[in-house]
Amino acid sequence: MGGLTEAKLRAVAGERSFERGLGYVGAVSGVEVGDGWIRASVRGTERYEVELVPGGRGSPAGTCDCPYGQDGNFCKHLVALGLAVIGREADLSRGRESARDRARGLDAWLSGLSREDLLALVREETAEDRQLRRRLELRAASARGDLAGIRSRIRELLDIGPFAQYGHVEYADARAYADQAGQAVSAIKGLTGSGRAADGVALAREAIGLLAGLLESVDDSDGWLGRIGGDLADAHHDACRAARTDPEELAHWLVTHALDDAAALTDIDPLDYEDLLDERGMAALRRYAVDAWQVNRTGWAEKDLMHRLAKSGCDIDTVIAVHAADLAPNGHTHLLIARELDAAGRTAEALEWAERGIRETEDIATVDPVLVDHLTDRYTRAGRLADAVTLRRDHFAACRTLFTYRQLRAAASTAACWPAERGKALTLLRADAERAGPHGGRVLVDVLLDDKDVDAAWEAAGEFGAHDGQWLTLADHSRPTRPADALSVYLRLAARLTRETGNHAYEQLVSLLLSIRACHRHLGTPDDFAEYVTYLRATQKRKRNLMLLMEQHGL
């Protein structure tokens, strides 16, 4: 056990787990020592069972049944056990020898019992320990070749009844139920290991179906059932390999399973069985998948399976057919098809599908904007700059925002026709502003500001209205050139903030005061600013945080 140090624990656990483990040293109990291992219980959110392998001169390792440890991490509970035993070599040596003595004593005692006494002992223990009884029943049924008995025991192990209140397993009991369900997985693996793989295949499938039917009845927040589902998937794969399951029959089950709710439990990918299916099985897999898809062309599971099988076989035409059978009304599916064709080097077809996506969208305002980006990019690459501008113009006309305006400006600038396009775009926005009434010119003000046409933006804001953020932006852009206009904006916004409290409002107000001071400097009226600040201090003096903030900024 020598060689275990804090430095090694810190290195293998990481800084965060090590620091958290420091607080759990006092929660370590029931330390047992064996040859090369140390076991204990550590009380955390629950009581966790921990096994530490000190590693001698190498790095320590271990297992813990907490959620973090179940994922293969060296958790805080392992750190706590390691810290608890560091420097206790003499105690560990005595504990190890004591454990050996106890094991030898138990073995000697059991060996000295008569057959009748040993049977009586086992019966007594199985009467007290239901889990032990079920494990032994499974072994007995397996030894007898009693498939019906094994099936019955597995059904009992997967029954939620003993753990459920009102038909539902609560979070606190989910771990215990998963431990019991894990015994069913062990039994199935045992069948495969004992040469009865065909029975293992059948029972794995039954168990998957049973467990999938219980998902809604168990609070699996920590993913315990997900782990059991993954173990069942592994047990099924191993059994199919050992049993040399008929490829066509296996293909049919895989497709049926992939389209069933149980697929969410096991996450079985039919392509993971490719080595067991051979050429005949893979052909059957694709055939069954196509049959299912033809029955339900819009089903998510059917489309996903078809797509993955087609991609694995580099069957681009099938990929396109799957997408084309369920086209989204906003052109998104057309975009997916265009990308697939582009990747396959079929650029002309890709362009045709992208253009179809635009044409077949009833209202271009609802089109997937990524499709517009894609098609504009393809037009630009092909030197079709006029087409790129037309597309951006149509999209802007249907969806007049600052974003679509910027996109139109970029395309038209590339095509050297922005002044003319800008005039048309601004005409549309002015018409919108006139129809909308008060505050209807917000998009117009935004695009003029984005064009850095500040004077025109002031005019539009005055004529059609703007929101406070736009007025503030206008003022910030215009302090040196239009200080009087900027000052009027700042004073109005400051007056509103004087009626508010809270540090955020105070910070905004002080920022405005600094801008107001800059405007007065440009206007040559510093005395007016001093008078304003004096008035503000007199009326706002109860706001101590505001006064402190003003002093910090020399106001």
pLDDT tens profile 82-99: 998 887 776 777 777 777
> How confident is the model over 533-545, as pLDDT tens digits?
999 999 998 999 9
Residue-level pLDDT at 548? 92
CA dihedral (419, 422, 423, 426) in degrees, to 10, reads -160
Residue-level pLDDT at 147? 79
Which one has a higher pLDDT value, 186 or 389? 389
Q: Taking the alpha carbons of 422, 423, 424, 430 in that order, is the dihedral positive or negative?
A: positive
| Confidence category of residue 438, pLDDT binned at 50, 70, 90 | low
Joined tokens for residue 260: 């069933």
Q: Is the pLDDT at 17 greater than 80, yes or no?
A: yes
Rounded average pLDDT over 74-84:
91
Q: Is the pLDDT at 142 greater than 70, yes or no?
A: no
Residue-level pLDDT at 145? 67
Rounded average pLDDT over 196-218:
91
| Confidence category of residue 65, pLDDT binned at 50, 70, 90 | confident
Q: Is the pLDDT at 192 greater than 90, yes or no?
A: no
| Confidence category of residue 106, pLDDT binned at 50, 70, 90 | confident
Q: How far is CA 23 from CA 77, 170, 328, 381, 479, in A?
A: 10, 29, 55, 62, 59
Within a 13 Å sphere around the CA of 281, how many CA atoms are in the beta-carbon half? 20
Q: Is the pLDDT at 137 greater than 80, yes or no?
A: no
| Confidence category of residue 144, pLDDT binned at 50, 70, 90 | low
| Confidence category of residue 334, pLDDT binned at 50, 70, 90 | very high
Which one has a higher pLDDT value, 327 or 133? 327
Q: Is the pLDDT at 1 greater than 70, yes or no?
A: no
Q: Is the pLDDT at 529 greater than 80, yes or no?
A: yes
Amino acid at site 497: L
Residue-level pLDDT at 143? 66
Residue-level pLDDT at 56? 64
Kindly report whether the global pTM for this prediction surpasses the value 0.85: no
Q: Is the pLDDT at 45 greater than 80, yes or no?
A: no
Is residue 99 within 8 Å of 32, Cβ to Cβ?
yes
Rounded average pLDDT over 411-420:
96
Residue-level pLDDT at 370? 95
Sheet (strand 28-34) strand order: 28-34, 37-43, 47-53, 61-64
Joined tokens for residue 255: 């497709």
Nearest C-alpha neighbor of 365 from the set 397, 321, 319, 343: 397
Q: Is the pLDDT at 2 greater than 60, yes or no?
A: no
Q: Is the pLDDT at 483 greater than 60, yes or no?
A: yes
Residue-level pLDDT at 58? 73
Residue-level pLDDT at 436? 79
Residue-level pLDDT at 118? 86
Least confident among 5-9, 29-33, 438-442, 446-450: 438-442
Rounded average pLDDT over 163-188:
85
Residue-level pLDDT at 425? 95
CA 470 to chain centre: 37
Rounded average pLDDT over 16-42:
88
State the chain's mean pLDDT as an integer: 88
Helix (H) or strand (E) holding 354: helix 347-359
Q: Is the pLDDT at 266 greater than 80, yes or no?
A: yes
The span from the CA of 110 to the CA of 465, in Å, is: 94
Q: Is the pLDDT at 439 greater than 70, yes or no?
A: no
Q: What percent of the chain has pLDDT over 90?
A: 49
Amino acid at site 57: R
The span from the CA of 358 to the CA of 101, in Å, is: 81
Rounded average pLDDT over 254-263:
90
Q: Is the pLDDT at 110 greater than 70, yes or no?
A: yes
The span from the CA of 490 to the CA of 278, in Å, is: 77
The span from the CA of 389 to the CA of 395, in Å, is: 10
Rounded average pLDDT over 126-152:
75
